[in-house]
Structure 1
Amino acid sequence: MELTYRKATTDDAELLLDIYNASFYDDYIRYGECPGYGKTKAEMEAAIETSSKYIVLYDTDFVGVISVIEKEKEMYELNCLCVLPAYQGMGIGTQAFQYMLTVCPNWKQITLVTPADKEQNINFYTKKCGFHLGRKTMDGNVEIVSFYRNRFTDS
Structure 2
Amino acid sequence: MTDEKVKLIPLQPEDREQFILDNQEAFNYGALEEFGRRDEHFEEEGEIISRETIKQSIEGGEAYRIMLGDVKAGGVVIKTDGDRGDLDLLFVSPHIHSRGVGYAAWCEIEKLHPEVRIWETVTPYFETRNIHFYVNKCGFHIVEFYNAHHPDPNAPGTGEDTPSGDGFFRFEKVIGQ
Kept after mapping to 1: 8 A contact 2:41/2:48? no
- TM-score for both structures, normalised by structure 2: 0.75
Q: Percent identity?
A: 19
Gaps of 5+ in 2: 148-162
Query: What pairs up with 1:3-152 in 2 under 5 angstroms?
Result: 3-26=6-29, 27=31, 30-34=39-43, 37-40=49-52, 44=55, 47-70=57-80, 72-138=81-147, 139-152=163-176
Measured against aligned partners, the alpha-carbon deviations of 1:51-103 in whole angstroms (never above 9, x if no partner) come to 11110112221110011101x32111101110011111110000000000011
Kept after mapping to 2: 8 A contact 1:69/1:76? yes
Gaps of 5+ in 1: none
- TM-score for both structures, normalised by structure 1: 0.85
* Residue 36 (structure 1) shift: 6.6
Partner of 2:167: helix, strand, or coil? strand
Instruction: Give the number of the structure whose residues are more often strand, by fraction.
Output: 1
Looking at structure 2, the residues matched to 8 and 50 of structure 1 have their Cα atoms a distance apart, in angstroms, of: 13
Partner of 1:99: helix, strand, or coil? helix
The total of aligned residue pairs comes to 150
Kept after mapping to 2: 8 A contact 1:55/1:65? yes
* Residue 126 (structure 1) shift: 0.8
